[in-house]
Structure 1
Amino acid sequence: MSADTRLAELGVSGLGEVDESAFSGLAERHRRELHVHCYRMLGSFEDAEDTVQETFLRAWRRRETFAGRSTFRAWLYRIATNACLDLLARRRPEPATGGEVRWLQPYPDRLLDELPAGDADEPESIAVARETIELAYLVAVQHLAPRPRAVLILRDVLGWPAKDVAELLGDSVNSVNSALQRARAGMREHLPAERQDWTGGEEDAGTRELVRRFTDASVATDIPTLASMLRDDVRCSMPPTPGLHIGRDAVVNDWINDGFDGMTGLRAVPTAVNRQPAVAFYHWREREGAYLPLTIDVLRVTGGAITEIVIFHHDQFPRLGLPERLPADGTE
């Protein structure tokens, strides 16, 4: 149901006549997809939450400016994009560098599943079906300057016409097209060359078996077996901790230096974030008599080998819907 249809049902002709409760009902239908849009722009789940709240506040205050020239959804996307640009100007005036994004946070698949089905009348809905939520894409996007980043997402992810993007940014169509070409070049520089081979949200049997073997070897802290699953040019990072390790030897040496090979008392729970396989690890704590959250490993698998591991800290467990502890008897 479009916003115009909903307005007619409410017996009003425009948003200026809608009370706060009815307006909230209209806007809330788009919360999840707006959150994903802001997450792509910002790379941070928490910042995306703050920005969606700011978007709704701005939309309510400016509701009389909605003239129906675009869909209500597109109007909200315009406000959300500008809210993201404002936040980036305040908090992160410079884009990421060096291939790592220290503010990167995971996005649980269970929340991505809340995204609405596509609507042919609203092209922004195609965003839910594109491979633009995986961590490697998010990292590449964060290396773009904010305005080219916005242009890329609006044009290539949401499918907006150049003239609409130009209007949103207060720029010319030529300038938008130029920014898009620069952004695409930047993405090619930072995206994996084999992007078309990503597992995405559809894991095959081989990927599932590799993840199972990775999980078992990790619980056993069997580094030689883990090393055998890594591609030569594997990348490993642990945001927000600085440091990007590239290459099998560098990754394995980092694990050894951190004392991983001597660790005991691990358990694992399979999960999925950013449409990628992931494993949540818990560590036995004698004092608490339970396994407590440790880290989450998010994997990118290409051609039967692990090509990237992004490790997140235990503070991400609640957002991902993971248990806060695992009891000693193995039940959850």
Structure 2
Amino acid sequence: MTASMGATGQAASTGQAASIGQEAGFERLAQRHRRELHVHCYRLLASYDEAEDAVQETYLRAWRARDSFEGDALARAWLYRIATNVCLDLIRARARQAPRLRSLAEVSWLQPYPDRLLDEAAAAEDQPDAVAVNRETIELAFLAALQVLPARQRAALVLRDVLGLPAAELAELLDTTVAAVNSALQRARVTMARHLPSHRVDWSARQPSSEERELLARFIDAHERCDAKAVAAIAAADIRVTMPPYPWCFDGLDMLAVLLQRAFGPDREGDWRLLPTAVNRLPAAGSYLKRPGDSKFRPFKLDVLRIEAGVIAEITTFGPAVFPELHLPATWTRAS
């Protein structure tokens, strides 16, 4: 489950310490760790956009502090320290802590993370830390549960239980004691266990299974045919639909029927076409809508499916802002 920062990083040489003081050397260091730092910040913040801002701030602070970088230090650990503190500052400044977690709707700032970016990082054979990126705890349920934790507990749990940072190094990074770290971890783990869905047996990310891909295909087919009964046939009786950043939460087949009537009924806004994709290691579909009088299908929403026991247990619907990162087309002209 964990990938120790010490095990995956290599001690920086004196030559490396000197090289990062130069722009070219610093840029190489930045590019080497950018994706995993972005995912680390994303996990703490649960926002793709805010994670991007955090990474930029991380490298700004790192550049300003480059003279303090020591040749016998770990470059990766040095950057993680800076990135974690940037995120802690953002969490406090923006009050990014959910008071409770009855559903994903409680985390209004939650955004999806494209699987293809995780795959790109894992495919980079020259990055020894790529495995850590690939195995990261990235599912929406885990991210949302993290947002209930206070900032330091959140950072402690991610750095210890996900990245495998030893307690002593974690205490140094957070400028506290090992005893305080262990206490924070204990409280964080209890809170996480209370808020994670009961179906979770571990925290390891994985690719969507063949069963999940098949259900996604059936979901897409039913959606394009505007067949509400076909959607209901593959949905759990207690299915939940949320739409961050909106605070709405729809539970059960009766509420799903209301939503499908709006999307598929005679007063619907137009015709649908969907493309399969994946975010947060979950199957997803990018939806395009062609309104009356328009010749093109235009981006409308992203539905992320959580599948349990062979049916769709939860649908989390986001806006289409992430379509470019998913390499989904800006418009679609496929015939109806």
Match of 2:50 among 47, 50, 68: 47
Task: Tell whether 2:220 aligns with 1:215.
Answer: yes
* Displacement after TM superposition at 1:60 (Å): 0.9
Aligned to 1:230: 235
Letter of the structure 2 residue corresponding to residue 63 of structure 1: R
Structure 1: 5+ residue stretches without partners: none
Alignment of 1:50-61 (within 5 A): 50-61=53-64
**TM-align CA RMSD:** 2.7
Q: Distance in 2 between matches of 1:214 and 1:62?
A: 51
SS of 2:164's equivalent?
coil
* Displacement after TM superposition at 1:196 (Å): 2.9
SS of 1:132's equivalent?
coil
Task: Tell whether 2:69 aligns with 1:66.
Answer: yes
Task: Tell whether 2:301 aligns with 1:303.
Answer: no
Q: Distance in 2 between matches of 1:265 and 1:93?
A: 37
Q: Distance in 1 between matches of 2:309 and 2:218?
A: 16
Match of 2:116 among 96, 107, 110: 110
Aligned to 1:326: 332
Alignment of 1:91-102 (within 5 A): 91-95=94-98, 97-98=100-101, 99-100=103-104, 101-102=107-108
Structure 1 pair 2–179 and aligned structure 2 pair: CA distance change class (3 A): closer
Q: Distance in 1 between matches of 2:178 and 2:243?
A: 39
SS of 1:192's equivalent?
coil
8 Å Cα contact 1:197-1:302 kept in structure 2:
no
TM, length-normalised to structure 1: 0.88
Task: Tell whether 2:159 aligns with 1:154.
Answer: yes
Aligned to 1:27: 30
Match of 1:261 among 246, 254, 265: 265
* Displacement after TM superposition at 1:3 (Å): 6.7
Q: Distance in 2 between matches of 1:77 and 1:128?
A: 13
8 Å Cα contact 2:290-2:298 kept in structure 1:
yes
Q: Deviations over 1:150-183 (max 9, x none)?
A: 0010001100011111111111111111111111
8 Å Cα contact 2:37-2:80 kept in structure 1:
yes
Q: Deviations over 1:125-149 (max 9, x none)?
A: 5532435111111111112111110
SS of 1:233's equivalent?
strand
Structure 1 pair 84–17 and aligned structure 2 pair: CA distance change class (3 A): closer
* Displacement after TM superposition at 1:13 (Å): 6.1
Q: Distance in 2 between matches of 1:225 and 1:199?
A: 32
**Larger deviation: 199-208 or 76-85?**
199-208
Aligned to 1:316: 322
Match of 2:85 among 82, 96, 106: 82
8 Å Cα contact 2:122-2:134 kept in structure 1:
no
TM, length-normalised to structure 2: 0.87
Q: Distance in 2 between matches of 1:250 and 1:190?
A: 24
Match of 1:291 among 272, 297, 309: 297
Structure 2: 5+ residue stretches without partners: 1-7
SS of 1:234's equivalent?
strand
Q: Distance in 1 between matches of 2:285 and 2:264?
A: 16
Higher relative contact order (CA 8 A, sep 6+): 2
Q: Distance in 2 between matches of 1:77 and 1:197?
A: 24
Letter of the structure 2 residue corresponding to residue 290 of structure 1: K
Letter of the structure 1 residue corresponding to residue 333 of structure 2: P
Letter of the structure 2 residue corresponding to residue 106 of structure 1: P
8 Å Cα contact 2:20-2:26 kept in structure 1:
no
Structure 1 pair 276–317 and aligned structure 2 pair: CA distance change class (3 A): same
SS of 1:278's equivalent?
strand
Letter of the structure 2 residue corresponding to residue 185 of structure 1: V
Q: Distance in 2 between matches of 1:96 and 1:130?
A: 28
8 Å Cα contact 2:289-2:297 kept in structure 1:
yes
Q: Distance in 2 between matches of 1:156 and 1:133?
A: 13
Q: Distance in 2 between matches of 1:219 and 1:117?
A: 34
SS of 2:247's equivalent?
strand
Q: Distance in 2 between matches of 1:35 and 1:131?
A: 12
**Larger deviation: 221-230 or 164-173?**
221-230
* Displacement after TM superposition at 1:58 (Å): 0.5
* Displacement after TM superposition at 1:57 (Å): 0.7
Q: Distance in 1 between matches of 2:35 and 2:16?
A: 26
Q: Deviations over 1:170-229 (max 9, x none)?
A: 111111111111111111112111113899533333222211111111222222221221
Q: Distance in 1 between matches of 2:179 and 2:11?
A: 32
